[in-house]
């Protein structure tokens, strides 16, 4: 049984084409797009570290990602000479979050394939997957809760949110049953991006997973699905329906704040919301926005 093996590893896939943000993402992964003053992926790395995960693995199709989390002696020296302590600290902080390991996905063959590329590094242990498109409010402890549910159930755990039924076709969708006396649910089945009329519920999968390593064997056998990509949702559906070791999928229904940076409009909303909460300029920004809207 893998149940009980501590969870220490986080896989943060970052090898997509970023087509929705072209041309900004031509030479830079979309996970490097700034959200106020940090690249989106740094929020996700910080969340993983805060949840106690110490071994981080991400994709490396573009150098900028690796450089961001590495030391930058020239820049550090220049800031030191200027006496710019705050900026120096912010630059050094990003390189102290690690250790971060990198794996090349080669081709963008889907989220399931990206997770499969991590198999060797993860080995036979449960592990977390965090998608850079979803930013979870720093005040929340969703991932920690999911890790606890994984340890308790020995299966795989997904995060779900309730969405407007008209939006469900943008997400993986879960059919669930409540588990008496528990704050998690059992996932009966999953379907990737169903048509609105075919969706079994309005519960959408968001980008946090805590997976049993049995998922790797399943992913190896999973045929390309929606969009001709190897879908993580399809592998989880197999685990939800299966009975062997590592089968069983559970869900944590998240009610807290989540910021979607996956498309242009929601990205802009995320940036404005988070910027308006910054002590240094949040109030000024809100005052300006009121005037802007009224003008």
Write out the residues near ligand G1P by the rule CB under 6 A.
111, 131, 133-134, 171-172, 192, 204-207, 231-233, 262
Strands (E), the chain: 9-12, 34-35, 38-39, 55-59, 100-103, 127-130, 134-136, 156-162, 172-178, 185-192, 203-211, 249-253, 258-260
Q: Are 284 and 291 spatial neighbours (Cβ–Cβ below 8 Å)?
A: no
Cβ at position 295, least distance to ligand G1P in Å? 35
Tell me the residue number closest to ligand G1P, measured at CB: 172
Cβ at position 271, least distance to ligand G1P in Å? 18
In the complex with ligand G1P, the residue whose CB is nearer, 15 or 149, is 15
Cβ at position 64, least distance to ligand G1P in Å? 20
Cβ at position 133, least distance to ligand G1P in Å? 5
In the complex with ligand G1P, the residue whose CB is nearer, 79 or 128, is 128
**Structural tokens at position 261:** 């940076």
Supply angle C-alpha 233, 165, 148, rounded to 5: 45
In the complex with ligand G1P, the residue whose CB is nearer, 79 or 127, is 127
Cβ at position 128, least distance to ligand G1P in Å? 15
In the complex with ligand G1P, the residue whose CB is nearer, 53 or 204, is 204
Query: How many Cβ atoms from other residues are within 10 Å of residue 237's Cβ?
Result: 23
SS3 111: helix
In the complex with ligand G1P, the residue whose CB is nearer, 5 or 226, is 226
DSSP-assigned beta bridge partners for residue 159? 206, 252
In the complex with ligand G1P, the residue whose CB is nearer, 144 or 169, is 169
| Strands 55-59 vs 9-12: parallel, antiparallel or unpaired | parallel
In the complex with ligand G1P, the residue whose CB is nearer, 79 or 252, is 252
Helical pair 85-95 and 73-82, crossing angle rounded to 10 deg:
160
Q: Are 31 and 14 spatial neighbours (Cβ–Cβ below 8 Å)?
A: yes
Cβ at position 190, least distance to ligand G1P in Å? 8
Tell me the chain's radius of gyration from C-alpha atoms: 20
Tell the burial category of 256 from Cβ atoms under 10 Å away from its Cβ (0-12, 13-18, 19+): exposed
Cβ at position 78, least distance to ligand G1P in Å? 38
In the complex with ligand G1P, the residue whose CB is nearer, 132 or 248, is 132
**Structural tokens at position 104:** 């090349």
Tell the burial category of 180 from Cβ atoms under 10 Å away from its Cβ (0-12, 13-18, 19+): exposed
Cβ at position 49, least distance to ligand G1P in Å? 21
First to last CA, the chain: 63
């Amino acid at each position: 049984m893998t149940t009980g093996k501590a969870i220490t590893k986080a896989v943060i896939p970052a090898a997509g084409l970023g087509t929705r943000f072209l041309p900004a993402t031509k030479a830079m992964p979309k996970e490097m797009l700034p959200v106020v003053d940090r690249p989106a992926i740094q929020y996700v790395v910080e969340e993983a570290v805060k949840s106690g995960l110490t071994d981080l693995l991400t994709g490396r199709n573009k150098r900028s990602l690796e450089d961001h989390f590495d030391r930058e002696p020239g820049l550090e020296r220049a800031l030191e000479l200027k006496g710019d302590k705050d900026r120096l600290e912010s630059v050094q902080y990003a390189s102290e979050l690690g250790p971060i390991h990198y794996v090349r996905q080669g081709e963008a063959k889907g989220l399931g394939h990206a997770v499969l590329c991590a198999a060797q590094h993860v080995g036979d242990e449960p592990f977390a997957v965090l998608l850079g498109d979803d930013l979870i409010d720093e005040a929340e402890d969703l991932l920690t809760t999911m890790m606890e549910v994984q340890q308790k159930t020995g299966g795989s755990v997904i995060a779900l949110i309730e969405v407007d039924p008209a939006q469900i076709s943008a997400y993986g969708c879960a059919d669930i049953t409540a588990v008496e006396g528990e704050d998690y649910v059992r996932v009966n089945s999953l379907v990737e991006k169903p048509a609105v009329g075919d969706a079994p519920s309005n519960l959408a999968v968001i980008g946090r997973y805590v997976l049993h390593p049995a998922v790797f064997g399943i992913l190896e056998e999973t045929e390309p699905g929606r969009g001709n990509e190897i879908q993580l949702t399809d592998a989880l559906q197999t685990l939800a329906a299966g009975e062997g070791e590592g089968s069983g999928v559970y869900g944590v229904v998240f009610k807290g704040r989540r910021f979607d940076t996956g498309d242009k409009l929601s990205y802009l909303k995320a940036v404005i919301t988070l910027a308006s909460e910054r002590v240094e300029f949040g109030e000024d920004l809100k005052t300006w926005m009121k005037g802007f809207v009224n003008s």
